[in-house]
């Protein structure tokens, strides 16, 4: 097997992201300097983003080795990954500022995880799938427990380690079963040859269990709230956006590749997962007082909504998924960015309770306005990107005549409105009695940048979404 | 472009008013007031365009002014605004009520004025958008857009006397009611668009295009129900009304004025503009039920209004009662009834705004809205008793006020379609006199209440009441202007509704 320049070029986002991890590592070996490490990581991710964007309009798509297939959709999501990771790098830089422990290694872990996400998005081979999953998950164990003197973070890290490893093992077993029956791990070959045998069904099922776990679809969601709560806010942002989007893109690839995954049985399974996720996510979010937990439950519900487009099996479904993933990422990143900007790694805990944010509008109007915007976007209120996402999903649901799922989605959205607005109102309320723990000083410019960007995107896409549709339409041909 | 400015001015005004807070509390108020006056001026200047009442417009162009810009071509969505007599009447009404809403909040809010005016102006922008949009997506966009600022108005600036938790609960109740029904509306819109797409291969959200879709019966009925869901909740029709008294009880005066004067009217407008013309046959099928619900609303609203102790809840229930007449008129569908509906919408907006401003004034003087603590105020307050008597008379439909014309036309126009029901609805007028006069009696007569009274009435209040009374009387004595302006639209709606298909439920006049 040989790689030529064209192949390397196609892999550029992936390679740049991996190289960034190495570069940060070398820089640390040379001299420990937090801003430098953060800058290298940010530049590297910027370069990965630029390369992906540069590659998108071309028709360069193609297989690179048997493991990876880089097409336009993969490039779009690589760009999204690089951009989101860049945001997380900036948030981390602000968050770790002044942290007494080791700070620089966080960027290595983050870049490795981003690389894993990119591998997943472009995987054409079950070996690549597994490598990608692990490359994504293993650094996350470290990142979640990064502030390791902080007990909840440590607990979250270990919880994620144990459960995620179990899920990976289940997936691996599924992959093994698929191999046992078909004798190949290539998705392309599987698509052509996989017989509709019990072993393939079981293998696909197990593989999907692993994926459902990473997407925290109910009933495999139990890890989500604890891990989100314990993880440092910038890592939570990564978990809720890049980690989930990558796995969802993988799911799309598997659905296309493995014929049994599209049979009626699996459709029923997805329908069930969607219904459960929407109801469980929204109902459990109702009583939360911790915003990270709330966002965790809300992400469960949002991925339930997304499954609607998977179940629909209409041409517009893929478009809706792409649009929704972009929209969801923007809003979720924005929400976590505000939480991250309010917190510091050295503090006793992140400011992540609804009470902590009470009256934020009167202390930090811009920050509060952005947070309200992201909440409204997650609730799907017009003028925000979230509404456009919900609208496209509804359109798909109507085209596919999925009335039950639409009804549940409607109920879920109504419940969602309740808890998102509860948070939004808290930001405007006057603080009575003792003032909440005030975050020190002005927000770091780095997290300010991320907040401003996600806020602007959320509003911009809500008011004029056509560019996204143009882009997605172009990619889907 | 003029049409876009009608919506943009309040939006921009709101954004300016917010930071203007730092120049003192007056700055945002002046910005808000000027924005609404500007909107009022522009809207009024559009009026000669239509040659209303000269018989020229009949049979001509349906829209006097249009603005169409592609917005989301992927789904065939345009930023499509248009104005005709009906929308113009509503736009002028909105601008006027908007000016008064700003005016009556002049003293009330206390702090956070900039943000308050931002919300107020954005509600008004949303309402204006609803009246102007004829792209269904855009209509929905504005329909939902007015909810968030209304929510904040109720949740954050609510009534000073009650605990904030109750305000938030009431606001949330309002939002969830309207959100669920709004999502049903969205689903119905998408369903209609894709049904149209299947029939013609054209993906569009345009009102004029969708109106011509001939849907299968079952589907038409279902989609109509989706539209209806949003409108009956917002109107509100009785089994769906329970958010309204709570919302009013907790809202600040300006919020109540907006809510009763404008938000309720958007629902009636939605029925007239969208529900009837888009789904004429299904609407005819459901007409008997809707008219019956209208009757229930009239009686139930009136009876509950009679039983209230809270002044604002009382007024809220009278709104429900009055909207019952509107429902009956709309579904009767005759020219007289529909014209009556438009007059009633205008007249009720004026009288309800007057009553809510009065409630605010009384609260400002007494520190209570509880009728049990009032009484004997007739001689203790200047001006307000007379004003109250006027608005009470308007509410009970006294001849000489617009409300009389509206209710009279509705009842007259509905009689041929549903004689028995109309006869029963007439009883609502009697109930209205009962609650209106009881209101006056409990506030101004009887033993004096325990509360001390702060008497002085400011020129600002006098001016607001004078405007409302003058307009109310004007509509009452010369309703022809309102009727002429909307006549064209009304004829078109009537034709679409009653003659689009063989009438089943309702006879054509």
Nearest CA in chain B to A429: B156
Residue B167: the pLDDT is 84
Domain that holds residue A465: 265-477
B108 pLDDT more than 70: no
Report the share of chain B in percent with pLDDT over 90: 52
A406 contacts chain B (CB < 8 A): yes
Encode pLDDT of A50-63 as tens digits: 999 888 876 667 78
Contact criterion met (CB < 8 Å) for B180 and A410: yes
Rounded to an integer, the average pLDDT of A304-325 is: 90
Report the share of chain B in percent with pLDDT over 70: 94
Residue A314: the pLDDT is 81
Residue A292: the pLDDT is 94
Both structure tokens of A308 = 């609607």
Contact criterion met (CB < 8 Å) for A398 and B190: yes
Contact criterion met (CB < 8 Å) for B183 and A414: yes
Rounded to an integer, the average pLDDT of B470-489 is: 90
Contact criterion met (CB < 8 Å) for A410 and B140: no
Pick from B398, B137, B106: which is nearest to B252 by CA? B106
Considering only residues 432 to 491 of chain B, which have any Cβ-Cβ distance to chain A shorter than 8 Å? none
Helix (H, G, I), strand (E, B) or coil at B15: helix
B164 contacts chain A (CB < 8 A): yes
Residue B125: the pLDDT is 95
Confidence at A442, pLDDT banded by 50, 70, 90: low
Encode pLDDT of B309-339 as tens digits: 898 999 999 999 999 999 999 999 899 999 9
In a domain, A433, yes or no: yes
Residue B105: the pLDDT is 82
In a domain, A168, yes or no: no
Encode pLDDT of B213-254 as tens digits: 888 888 999 999 999 999 999 988 988 999 999 998 888 888
Partners of residue B144 in chain A, C-beta under 8 Å? 381-382, 387
Task: Measure the CA–CA gap between A234 and A335, rounded to whole angstroms.
Answer: 10
A30 pLDDT more than 90: yes
Q: Closest approach of chain A CAs to the CA of B172, in angstroms? A: 7
Encode pLDDT of B256-302 as tens digits: 888 888 889 999 999 999 999 999 999 999 999 999 999 999 999 99
Confidence at A194, pLDDT banded by 50, 70, 90: low
Pick from B337, B219, B210, B213: which is nearest to B268 by CA? B337
Rounded to an integer, the average pLDDT of B191-199 is: 92
Residue A160: the pLDDT is 94
In a domain, A291, yes or no: yes
Q: Treating both helix axes as pointing N-terminal to C-terminal, what angle do B85-104 and B480-499 enclose, rounded to 10 degrees?
A: 130
Residue A455: the pLDDT is 95
Q: Look up the pTM and report it.
A: 0.93
Residue A197: the pLDDT is 79
Residue A98: the pLDDT is 82
Cα separation values, B481 from B51, B86, B308, B475, B486, Å: 11, 12, 36, 8, 9
- B279-B282-B287 Cα angle (round to 5): 110
A399 contacts chain B (CB < 8 A): yes
CA dihedral of B193, B195, B200, B202, whole degrees rounded to 10: 30
The secondary structure of A110-129 as a DSSP string is HHHHHHHHHHHHHB-BHHHH
Encode pLDDT of A346-391 as tens digits: 777 888 888 888 888 888 888 999 999 999 999 999 999 999 999 9
> What's the number of CA atoms in the CB half-sphere (13 Å) around residue B115?
16
Considering only residues 336 to 395 of chain A, which have any Cβ-Cβ distance to chain B shorter than 8 Å? 376, 381-383, 387, 391, 394-395
Average pLDDT taken over every residue of chain B? 88
The 10 Å CB-count burial string (b at 16+, else e) for A162-171 is ebbeebbebb
Highest mean pLDDT of the ranges A31-35, A302-306, B204-208: A302-306
B35 pLDDT more than 80: yes
In a domain, A425, yes or no: yes
Residue A432: the pLDDT is 65
Contact criterion met (CB < 8 Å) for B175 and A383: no
In a domain, A333, yes or no: yes
Residue B505: the pLDDT is 40
Contact criterion met (CB < 8 Å) for A425 and B155: yes
- Reported ipTM: the value is 0.91
A289 pLDDT more than 70: yes
Nearest CA in chain A to B142: A382
In a domain, A41, yes or no: no
Task: Measure the CA–CA gap between B248 and B255, rounded to whole angstroms.
Answer: 8
A71 pLDDT more than 80: yes
A418 contacts chain B (CB < 8 A): yes
Residue A46 vs residue B384, higher pLDDT:
A46
Residue A358: the pLDDT is 86
What sign results for the dihedral spanned by CA atoms B81, B85, B87, B90? positive
- B346-B123-B235 Cα angle (round to 5): 50
Yes or no: say if A216 and A228 are a contact pair by the CB < 8 Å rule.
Answer: no
Residue B113: the pLDDT is 83
In a domain, A172, yes or no: no
Pick from B127, B414, B79: which is nearest to B268 by CA? B127
Partners of residue A473 in chain B, C-beta under 8 Å? 74
A162 pLDDT more than 60: yes
Partners of residue A417 in chain B, C-beta under 8 Å? 175-176, 179
CA dihedral of A420, A425, A431, A437, whole degrees rounded to 10: 30
In a domain, A458, yes or no: yes
- B458-B464-B467 Cα angle (round to 5): 140
Contact criterion met (CB < 8 Å) for B187 and A410: yes
Nearest CA in chain A to B184: A410
Task: Measure the CA–CA gap between A243 and A245, rounded to whole angstroms.
Answer: 6
Q: To probe the interface with A, which of B73, B75, B147 has the most A CB atoms within 10 Å?
A: B75
Helix (H, G, I), strand (E, B) or coil at A289: coil
Cα separation values, A272 from A131, A299, A308, A322, Å: 29, 17, 10, 22
- Number of structural domains chain A divides into: 1
Encode pLDDT of A456-468 as tens digits: 999 999 999 999 9
Confidence at B168, pLDDT banded by 50, 70, 90: confident
Residue B7: the pLDDT is 93
Rounded to an integer, the average pLDDT of B26-50 is: 90
Pick from A333, A297, A318: which is nearest to A255 by CA? A318
């Amino acid at each position: 097997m040989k790689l030529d320049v064209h192949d390397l070029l196609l892999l550029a986002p992936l390679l740049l992201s991996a190289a960034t991890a190495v570069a940060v590592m070398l820089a640390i070996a040379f001299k420990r300097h937090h801003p430098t490490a953060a800058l290298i990581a940010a530049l590297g991710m910027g370069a990965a983003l630029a390369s992906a964007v540069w590659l998108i309009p071309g028709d360069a798509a193609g297989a690179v080795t048997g493991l990876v297939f880089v097409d336009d959709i993969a490039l779009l999501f690589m760009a999204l990954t690089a951009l989101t990771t860049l945001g997380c790098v900036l948030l981390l830089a602000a968050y770790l500022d002044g942290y007494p422990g080791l700070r620089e290694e966080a960027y290595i872990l983050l870049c490795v995880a981003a690389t894993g996400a990119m591998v997943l998005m472009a995987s054409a081979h079950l070996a690549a799938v597994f490598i990608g999953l692990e490359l994504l998950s293993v650094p996350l164990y470290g990142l979640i427990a990064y502030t390791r003197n902080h007990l909840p973070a440590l607990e979250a890290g270990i919880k994620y380690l144990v459960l995620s490893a179990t899920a990976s093992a289940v997936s691996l077993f599924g992959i093994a079963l698929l191999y046992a029956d078909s004798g190949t791990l290539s998705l392309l070959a599987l698509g052509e040859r996989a017989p509709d045998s019990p072993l393939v069904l079981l293998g696909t099922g197990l593989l999907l269990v692993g994926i459902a776990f990473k997407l925290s679809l109910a009933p495999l969601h139990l890890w989500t709230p604890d891990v989100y709560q314990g993880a440092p806010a910038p890592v939570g942002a990564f978990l809720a956006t890049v980690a989930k989007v990558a796995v969802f893109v993988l799911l799309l690839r598997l659905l296309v590749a493995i014929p049994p995954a599209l049979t009626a049985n699996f459709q029923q399974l997805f329908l069930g997962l969607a219904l459960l996720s929407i109801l469980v996510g929204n109902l459990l979010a109702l009583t939360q007082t911790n915003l990270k937990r709330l966002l965790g439950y809300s992400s469960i519900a949002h991925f339930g909504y997304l499954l609607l487009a998977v179940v629909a099996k209409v041409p517009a479904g893929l478009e809706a998924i792409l649009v929704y993933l972009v929209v969801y990422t923007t809003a979720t990143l924005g929400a976590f960015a505000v939480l991250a900007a309010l917190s510091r790694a050295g503090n006793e805990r992140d400011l992540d309770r609804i009470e902590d944010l009470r009256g934020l509008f009167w202390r930090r109007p811009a920050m509060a306005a952005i947070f309200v915007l992201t909440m409204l976007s997650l609730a799907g209120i017009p003028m925000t990107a979230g509404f456009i996402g919900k609208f496209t999903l509804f359109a798909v649901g109507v085209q596919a005549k999925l009335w039950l799922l639409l009804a549940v989605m409607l109920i879920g959205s109504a419940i969602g409105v309740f808890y998102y607005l509860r948070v939004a109102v808290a930001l405007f309320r006057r603080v009575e009695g003792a003032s909440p723990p005030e975050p020190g000083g002005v927000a770091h410019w780095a997290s300010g940048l991320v907040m401003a960007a996600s806020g602007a995107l959320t509003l911009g896409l809500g008011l004029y979404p056509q560019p996204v549709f143009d882009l997605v339409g172009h990619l889907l041909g | 472009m003029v049409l876009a400015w009608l919506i943009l001015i309040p939006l921009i005004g709101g954004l300016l008013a917010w930071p203007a807070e730092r120049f003192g509390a007056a700055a945002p108020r002046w910005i808000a007031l000027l924005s609404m006056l500007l909107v009022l001026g522009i809207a009024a200047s559009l009026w000669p365009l239509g040659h209303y009442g000269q018989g020229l417009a009949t049979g001509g162009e349906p829209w006097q002014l249009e603005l169409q810009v592609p917005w989301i071509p992927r789904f065939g969505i345009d930023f499509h605004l248009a104005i005709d007599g009906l929308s113009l009447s509503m736009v002028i009404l909105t601008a006027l009520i908007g000016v008064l809403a700003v005016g009556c909040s002049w003293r009330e809010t206390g702090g956070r004025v900039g943000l308050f005016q931002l919300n107020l102006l954005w509600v008004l922008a949303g309402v204006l958008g609803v009246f102007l949009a004829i792209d269904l997506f855009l209509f929905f966009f504005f329909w939902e857009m007015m909810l968030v600022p209304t929510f904040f108005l109720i949740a954050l600036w609510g009534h000073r006397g009650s605990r904030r938790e109750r305000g938030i609960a009431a606001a949330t109740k309002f939002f969830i009611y309207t959100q669920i029904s709004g999502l049903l509306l969205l689903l119905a819109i998408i369903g209609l668009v894709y049904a149209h797409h299947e029939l013609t291969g054209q993906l569009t959200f345009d009102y004029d295009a969708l109106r011509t879709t001939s849907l299968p019966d079952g589907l038409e009925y279902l989609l109509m129900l989706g539209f209806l869901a949003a409108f009956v909740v917002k109107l509100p029709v009785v089994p769906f009304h329970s958010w309204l008294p709570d919302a009013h009880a907790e809202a600040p005066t300006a919020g109540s004025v907006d809510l009763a004067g404008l938000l309720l009217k958007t629902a009636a407008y939605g029925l007239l503009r969208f529900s009837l013309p888009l789904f004429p046959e299904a609407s005819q099928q459901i007409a008997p039920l809707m008219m019956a619900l209208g009757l229930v609303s009239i009686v139930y609203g009136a009876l509950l209004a009679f039983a209230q102790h809270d002044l604002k809840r009382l007024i809220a229930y009278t709104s429900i009662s009055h909207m019952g007449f509107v429902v009956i008129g709309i579904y009767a569908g005759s020219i007289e009834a529909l014209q009556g509906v438009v007059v009633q919408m205008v007249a009720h907006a004026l009288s309800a705004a007057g009553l809510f401003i009065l409630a605010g004034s009384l609260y400002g003087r007494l520190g209570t809205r509880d009728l049990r603590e009032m009484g004997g105020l007739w001689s203790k307050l200047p001006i307000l008793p007379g004003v109250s008597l006027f608005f009470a008379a308007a509410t009970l439909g006294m001849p000489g006020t617009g409300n009389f014309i509206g209710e009279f036309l509705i009842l007259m126009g509905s009689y041929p379609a549903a004689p028995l029901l109309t006869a029963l609805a007439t009883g609502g007028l009697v109930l209205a006199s009962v609650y209106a006069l009881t209101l006056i009696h409990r506030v101004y007569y009887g033993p004096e209440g325990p509360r001390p009274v702060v008497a002085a009435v400011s020129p600002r209040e006098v001016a607001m009441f004078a405007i409302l009374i003058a307009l109310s009387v004007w509509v009452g004595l010369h309703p022809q202007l309102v009727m002429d302006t909307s006549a064209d639209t009304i004829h078109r709606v009537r034709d679409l509704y009653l003659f689009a298909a063989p009438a089943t439920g309702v006879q054509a006049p």
